[in-house]
Chains A and B, each alone.
Chain A
Amino acid sequence: MAEQNMIVINGNEFVFEPGETILEIAQRNNIDIPTLCHLKGATATGACRICVVEVEGARSLVASCAAPAAKNMVVRTGSANVIKARRMVLQLLLSSGNHNCAVCGSGGTNWTEFQLHVHQMDNSEELCPVWGDCRLQELAFRYQVTGEKFEATQTPYPIETANPFIVRDFSRCIQCGRCVQACNEIQVNQAIHFGYRGAATKIIAAGDRPYINSDCVFCGECLQVCPVGALVEKEGRYSVRPWENKKVRTTCSYCGVGCQLYLHVKDNTVVKISGVQDVAPNYGSLCVKGRFGYDFIHSPERLASPLIKENGKFREASWEEALDLVAKRFDEIKADHGPDSFGVLTSARVTNEENYIAQKFARAVLKTNNIDHCARL
């Protein structure tokens, strides 16, 4: 038998396939290593270094998301050195920009001043819009750190609200680069990149233009992968908090790809849509229609009552009345002109069950095969 590839993680041996990273092996075996910049399906960049681990014999800590496993490697994922390094990464991230959640990202001690400053920039008195749904916040709690260890730094870039869908808040961006990868490697729309250098680094659309004047097609992949509050849906920003929502998984009702998505529901209202990660056919991706085109559900123009036309005008009617009328007229026409004087158009928009019932109705009740749908049109 060929010798198997073995690696030791936290004292236990694991088999691996050549090319697998330390992170992948760990995840496969339910060993938790925190990540921030890592994006499944895209090239590892090793940008954030939150995923560092200790590898015996290596001179420094290794970013597990980018390091391929090697035979007989001995890895520790939670040693004192590792924890220290992760805390430092988090402290640095928290001290730069407007992380005004309860972990209090302000450098220095004057929380009130800091909060007033954020308030002014973002026009809201509340805590960060993704409070409770932020990877950075979650890790800060887990590693018990705040941003106070280092001096606070500010971002020079104002918030961008110039498009109808996505708010770009550079003050909350941690420059993990997931949005850049999502845009270039997952959706391949090639609309955003890293721009400028050093402290001025910013995620930009070509020519540092706002999304609305760029190649952006508003698929929202960037927004979905942003681990913090830098990219947030414009609708519901601040007004809808993650813990208030119920998520219902369903299938997109636009094109035939059939993307799997979550409807986020608050008070019987769809307030947000997100893609379902890790399942076919879309693996989390959506397009502008699927992600943002949901206003129609609660449009005031929705039909809410049966209508009967009288003297050229519609009036509201009860179900009883409307259904009785339809059945009576159908019966009469069937008696007078025969089954083939009917046509039924079912729909590519309704469910399989409803299409089945529609054709059953045409054939078994009306007794006609004059049934079709408009999808080829």
Chain B
Amino acid sequence: MTNSIADIESADVFLITGSNTTENHPVLSSTVKRAVTRRGAGLIVVDPRRIKITQYADKWLRQNLGTDVAWINGLMHVIIAENLYAKEYVERRTVGFDEIQKTVEKFTPDYVEQITGIPANELIEAARMYAAAERGCILYCMGITQHTTGTDNVKSLANLAMLCGNLGIEGGGVNPLRGQNNVQGACDMGGLPDVYSGYQKVIDPAAREKMETAWNVSDLPDKPGLKVTQMIPAAHDGNLKALYIIGENPLVSDPDLNHCEKSLKNLEFFVVQDIFLTETAQLADVVLPSACYAEKDGTFTNTERRVQRVRKAVEPPGQAWNDWKIICEIGTRMGYPMSYENSRQIGEEISQVTPSYAGIRYDRIEYDGIHWPCPTVEHPGTPILHREQFTSGKGVFHAIDFIEPAEAADEDYPMYLTTGRLLYQYHTGTMTMKSDGIMEIAPECFVEISPQDAAKYEVKDGALVTIASRRGSIVARIKISRKAVSGTIFIPFHYAQAAANRLTNSALDPISGIPEYKVCAVKLSKAA
């Protein structure tokens, strides 16, 4: 996030899109709901489903799946046409306004309505509302990123925020909500194919040299590696021989699971390290038992870039070890000694080689976490990014045109499917499905469908149906809900028994490599 969680409570207008906030980030959603109900802040929700947060909204715009660039450009069109943009800010802090103006010119409200299904007047009103806010705060989540145009979507939101002078101010910003507890940290620590910790690029000779010295090695590889969405196909083709997976369960979370399963089976050697024998671990040659968060010390970095302590409360079961210890033992056996007393010692190495974490120390975050960048031990941390200027100098507008999603509904597969999470379950369910209470409330997969579609297909609540896409099919129960909009069904992806990702499309965003989980074409039939 560019801003902090506490800070968003001071926004005047929220624009939430592609985030089922009350279910996926419940505690954060309360900040928004408080601002709306108690302080009268405005709320615009743009989402294909009538999710709970829409009940608190002034406006709910329902876009067709995969048409986000179009409505965002539409908002900018209106804001520029009606002269509502932050002229002084745009002049002083940004470049590229002319191009963006040209690009959004054709996105008139009527044209946008044709593409997105959002009524022209609704779009105009939403544009005026967002532009009128002194502090406009954008919140988004996977509903924006999990598209073939995910990167475009994110850049478009940044365009919109800059246009209205909402980047780098209190109560503003463009704020991605991280779905998993330590996604931010995994990225910050260099769990990515192209960067070391702190986003130091592997192609940068100076960065490489620095890490070689710090790690006392030579010949660090200089080409960016494969993304997860490239590793799986590489395994399929036989180019990737060995895979070492730590605490992930791609065999429920990956797109196009049938293909994924084949790929993993094709590996020469497959090691999985986890707390449970997950669907993925069952395919492994060796499974290594690790400790869970309650059994270890360390830090997590949350969605607002706040580095916070994790503390050991109980002993791990049996012989399970901390993940770092297992990795170090393998490294040492392979001839590179890796030995640390404890996680604190690793933390110190991190601050030595990672500029944005340089001032983070365990004793500084005993009580309150610190937001990176935190360059020195005296530095208080940075709750709001881009305050004076953007990291890279001026903010750049990226003129972006609309591209259709990779798969459209047609005669054979006439409905749209979108996927997501539930309040009561978490990711692939390895943790939440061990709770009797949670399983009592959210026991199994379902197909959320609008009352109209249910009538059309003559299916009753609770009926078993088969949902098929070009890639596979699953059977699940019908759940008739007013959250759904006709023509589009929703399936939560948590459940391995009826894994929504047997259906989803693995078409990728060319830059981020994120698959298009949020749109694919399916057909529905009564289960035999």
Contacts and interface: CB of A to CB of B under 8 A. Distances in A.
B276 interface: yes
B339 to A, nearest CB: 11
B313 interface: yes
A268 B318 CA distance: 13
A342 B242 CA distance: 5
B304 interface: yes
Contact of A374 (B220, B254, B319, B434): B254
Given A348-B183, A349-B181, A377 B6 contact: no
A292 B180 CA distance: 17
A293 B196 CA distance: 33
Contact of B197 (A218, A296, A356): A356
B409 interface: no
Contacts of A165: 437
Interface string B432-448: 10111110110000000
B111 interface: no
Interface stretch (A3-11, A91-99, A332-340): A332-340
A303 interface: yes
B462 interface: no
A377 B253 contact: yes
A346 B323 CA distance: 10
A347 B186 contact: yes
A357 B328 contact: yes
A297 B314 contact: yes
Q: Which of B242, B333, B368 has the most CB of A within 10 A?
A: B242
B347 A353 contact: yes
Interface string B37-58: 1100000000000000000100
Contacts of A340: 221, 225
B331 A375 contact: no
A361 B271 CA distance: 14
B25 A377 contact: no
Interface residues of B, number: 151
Q: At the interface, is chain A mostly helix, strand, loop or mixed?
A: mixed
B401 interface: no
B231 interface: yes
Contacts of A314: 277, 287
Contacts of B241: 333, 336-337, 341-342
A217 interface: yes
Interface stretch (B79-87, B115-123, B290-298): B290-298
Given A333-B269, A372-B226, A377 B434 contact: no
B354 to A, nearest CB: 8
A83 interface: no
A309 interface: yes
Contacts of A253: 181, 292-294, 300, 310, 431
B464 interface: no
Contact of A352 (B26, B227, B298, B434): B298
Contacts of B28: 257, 281
Given A293-B426, A319-B319, A352-B299, A164 B440 contact: yes
A343 B289 contact: no
Number of chain A interface residues as a range:
35 or more
A37 to B, nearest CB: 19
Interface string B240-275: 111111111110011100000000000011010011
B309 interface: yes
A298 B312 CA distance: 14
A363 interface: yes
A358 B180 CA distance: 18
A355 B186 contact: yes
A301 B276 contact: yes
B288 to A, nearest CB: 5
B303 interface: yes
Q: Which 6 A-B pairs have the closest CB atoms?
A: A304-B318, A258-B302, A256-B178, A351-B298, A369-B225, A164-B437
Interface of A: 164-165, 185-188, 212, 217-219, 234-235, 246, 248-260, 263, 265, 268-270, 279-282, 285-290, 292-299, 301-309, 314, 319, 322-327, 329-331, 333, 336-337, 339-365, 367-377
23 contacts: A185-B34, A250-B311, A253-B294, A263-B313, A281-B5, A282-B27, A287-B27, A288-B424, A296-B292, A296-B430, A301-B276, A304-B318, A336-B241, A339-B221, A342-B240, A344-B243, A344-B246, A352-B188, A353-B350, A354-B322, A367-B219, A370-B225, A374-B228
